[in-house]
Chains A and B, each alone.
Chain A
Amino acid sequence: MAETGSPEASLANPVDVKDLVFNYVGVGKPVLTVGDFHVVDGEVALVIGKSGGGKSTLVNCFNGVIPHIFKGNDPDGVVVYGNAVKQTPLPKLSTMVGTLLQDPETQVLNYTVEEEIAFGPENLMMPPDEIQRRVDLAIATTGIENLRERETYVLSGGELQRVALAAVLAMQPKLLIMDEPTSNIDPEGTARVFQTLTGLKGKSTLIIVEHKLERALHFIDRVVLVDEGKVVFDIAKAKLVDYVDELHAAGIDVPEHYLYAKKFRMDPSNIEGIRQRIAREGLQLGTPQRGGGGKVIMEAFAHVEVQGKVLVEADLTLREPQMLAIMGRNGAGKSTFLKAVMNFLDKELTAKSKLMINGVDLSKASIQERGKHIAYVPQSFDLMLINKTVEEEISYSMRKRGVKDYKGPTEEFLKLFGLQEFRRRDPLMLSVGQRRRVAMAAALSSGVKIVMMDEPTSGQDFYHKEIIAKEINMLKGLGYSFIIVTHDAKFVYRYADSMLVLDGGKKVLEGTPEEVFASSQNYSVIPPTEYYLRNPDIPIPELGMLGV
């Protein structure tokens, strides 16, 4: 085996895989089976696939997380820059392979940005001058000079993810692996991360695992579809348009313009051309159905300030049955607004709020009292699951409110969410999708008709987003209304009845998605491609900035 730095190693591919079979400890069946797979120097490969299909397992075999952190059958057959991963210590691998993960909150360890970026070089026992040089270079590459002296815990998700990227780049890896690097951040942050990655093209070899196919397409060279632990196809980007059916079959959300590019035999990156062709051909693209024109069931206003500085001053009106989306960049005040409505705010914040639900004034009501009318499902919905069985979880709210006959409604919710077979199971031991359904059922069982959801689609793949949308539509049919805080413009365009945009704590836009998206770019809310295809008068932003 060639040593790093030796002529053999420098000639070796970033990744060579031959007959890889991997299964985790305690799992008999292999979760990953790959015959031949290679990544050559300088290329940008996009790995796509459903959640749980094996994408992360594949890249974890390259960076040494498997088998050095996650134990399994010690897979042979993975060689990185001439080094067999199984035999190479993780610290040595980390000088060749950098890894950026999905959630910036949990991967950033230090309190200040500079310290975070210096962490890796310090571990390598580098002299202070060299550490400083690498820190400066990483900061310049990622464009975060303005963040250098900041504390990491006050940064937005997008800023934090760029800090995490800089910390990885300070290791000066030749191969950079990014595992869903933009799943948890806003469109502006996503665009900036991809902007940095575009700048790295040609200088480093990049492997990107990403749900946001549309976002990455403009700068990748190659697309690898992984499903059920196998590489389904591995093609050059130019050929992707011919594999649209395979992508659909694998549950991948294919950008709509790809379908027309295939139909018209056009370059999929020429969205303007495709749009004009659609118009010339006289094709009528279906538009999402918007409902929610019923009676007003909720009116809310919140004014929140801290030490004289106004954080939020906004209002909303919700109709029955409606899905209202709240969008805006990180720090726009979306979550603070929601917290003010629910009376969740910290004591140090001064808040004045007005809340009317079905004509009842709840402005002075406690959290418990508000909870009789509104349910809240947090982004980390696991925090709701405090009971030992699914059945107890769903009946919890009724029992706490002294409802005597709670067994009947509990059965109804078990049935509605398809949870009967799991009724005696511990909610925390279920799959992600099942846990989310339990959380939703538990929230609704308190008898509310209004549900607030914080980032329900964050980190979810297309398949799971569709399930969430179906559930919401089904519940709207039963008279429920939803307020959803999200960065997911495509989800909003497809399923929301109305939306509002917050900026600097103020409501700046309100209306249907069609009305709001016409000018929402000014507030970092960028519409999805399908909106542009249906609205020929709206200028299309540069590639890589489209909302996904």
Chain B
Amino acid sequence: MALLDAVWVNVGSWFLFVFGLVTPLYLIFGYIGLTGFRDISRYEEHHTFYYRLNPLTKIIFTIVLTFVVAVTAWSIDLVIGLVVLSTYLTLKRGLRRLALGSALVFASVIGLAWYYATQTPYGLLMYAFYHICVASVSATPQPPSAAWMALFTPVWQWASYFTILGYQPVLTTQGLLYGMQVSTRAGVVLISSLILIMTSTPSAILRTLGRLKLPVVLIFALVVGMRTVPRIFDTLDTAVKVQFMRGYGAKANKVTRVFYLFGGVLTSIVPAMTFLFRGARNTAISADTRAFRAYKQRTFLKPFTFSKGDYVFFAIIAGLVALAVFSNLYGFGRAIPYSAVGSSCGATSTA
């Protein structure tokens, strides 16, 4: 019986470990792929709602959304995320971008949630969920003590050697919720940032940031970055496929192919970057021989205007702020007081 238990714990632990590692990797390399990343990281002209907005509105939206999801519970973040994600359908090639965006967000949520769920110390979870602060790690109740059992709901007991990987001895419901809290926040920010990238030309962003008096060099670096990112994915895609053609991954099957793709990307980084850096020299000449940095600021061909759509969007942003306030008033505020981490913990300890 003990042997069966040991087998069960080991097999189960490794299955869960592989799940947490492979699912994001599979989604990123198996489903999205390099061409998917290219498609989700570049602007394509279209005429729907987002495309008509001033980039400043979208930047403000992303910033406000970041604050809103930081102060609300993960379930609310999840709903917000799904609503914003569904608006991808209005983008050019909306269905494909919705599928790619969903896969990317799901991959990051799973990856991050799994990491935090398994590795967050119990002491931090105690403070996050019960505002109980302990002065040191050695004083934190550990499973299977009664004090620990009173606070945590165990889901899975890891094989003992998993602690070497940084895992807590037992996976708990609280750990999973904490993981969801952190990852959904990151996911929502990712969703809104991609909207900015997919629906604004770099020049429009340059114009906006220029009005905000950001240094021209900094803005230009961002803009060239936006122009270059899709090209990086394109170049990597060619490099990896050429490797496949030369026999890399010759023994791969449908399941393991994704790992070969991952390996192929890693080995292609140096030649791809070398190739792109050679091109970057031309980019520098092209900009500098057209009077770039002649002055600290630039003028712009197109005026900086807000449309009716921008004002509608400002109302939506205001609604989000209201949602955050009401959520907190009704007990759906953030559950993780970060002051628990560090020396201030002892000063505010209630335990």
Contacts and interface: CB of A to CB of B under 8 A. Distances in A.
A124 B42 CA distance: 28
B299 to A, nearest CB: 5
Chain B interface mostly:
helix
Nearest to A118: B301
Interface stretch (A189-197, A309-317, A373-381): A373-381
A397 B250 CA distance: 10
B202 A111 contact: yes
Interface residues of A, number: 80
Contact of B271 (A94, A123, A367, A386): A386
B294 A124 contact: yes
A428 B270 CA distance: 9
Contacts of B35: 346-348
A368 B247 contact: yes
B96 interface: yes
Contact of B282 (A103, A123, A442): A103
B289 A119 contact: no
A68 B43 contact: no
A128 B301 contact: yes
A171 interface: yes
Interface residues of B, number: 62
Interface in A123-158: 123-128, 131-132, 135, 151, 153
Interface string A367-407: 11011101110101011111000000000111111100000
B271 A69 contact: no
A125 B294 contact: yes
B242 A376 contact: yes
A90 B298 CA distance: 16
Contact of B241 (A164, A348, A367, A446): A367
A110 B235 contact: no
Contact of A368 (B39, B250, B282): B250
Contacts of A384: 239, 242, 246, 271
Contacts of A167: 290
B288 A109 contact: no
A344 interface: yes
Given A95-B291, A124-B291, A371-B245, A385 B223 contact: no
A348 B31 CA distance: 12
Contacts of A98: 289
Contact of B96 (A348, A372, A382): A348
Contacts of B235: 380, 383
Contacts of B291: 90-91, 94-95, 120, 123-124, 171
Given A68-B288, A115-B301, A385-B271, A402 B203 contact: no
Contacts of A374: 245
A107 B202 contact: no
Interface in B226-255: 227, 230-231, 235, 238-239, 241-252
Contact of B286 (A109, A131, A347, A376): A109
B156 interface: no
A288 to B, nearest CB: 31
Interface stretch (B7-15, B57-65, B179-187, B272-280): B272-280
B45 A91 contact: no
Nearest to A346: B35
Contacts of A151: 43-45
Indicate the member of B227, B252, B301 with the most A CB atoms within 10 Å: B301
B289 A131 contact: no
Contact of A382 (B33, B271, B300): B271
Nearest to B227: A109
Nearest to A384: B242
Given A107-B286, A109-B286, A397 B247 contact: yes
Contact of A401 (B231, B241, B250, B267): B250
A115 B294 contact: no
A466 B94 CA distance: 49
A168 interface: yes
Contacts of A123: 290-295, 298
B48 interface: no
Contacts of A68: 288
A154 to B, nearest CB: 9
B245 A90 contact: no
Interface in A48-82: 63-65, 68-69
Nearest to A342: B245
Contacts of B239: 383-384, 386
Given A101-B282, A101-B285, A123-B298, A111 B203 contact: yes
B213 to A, nearest CB: 14
A385 B247 CA distance: 14
25 contacts: A68-B288, A69-B284, A90-B288, A91-B293, A98-B289, A105-B279, A106-B283, A110-B201, A111-B201, A115-B301, A118-B300, A123-B293, A123-B294, A124-B291, A126-B299, A164-B286, A171-B291, A342-B241, A342-B245, A348-B39, A348-B96, A368-B252, A382-B271, A396-B246, A396-B247
Given A101-B286, A378-B238, 7 more contacts: A105-B279, A110-B203, A122-B301, A380-B275, A383-B275, A402-B251, A428-B271
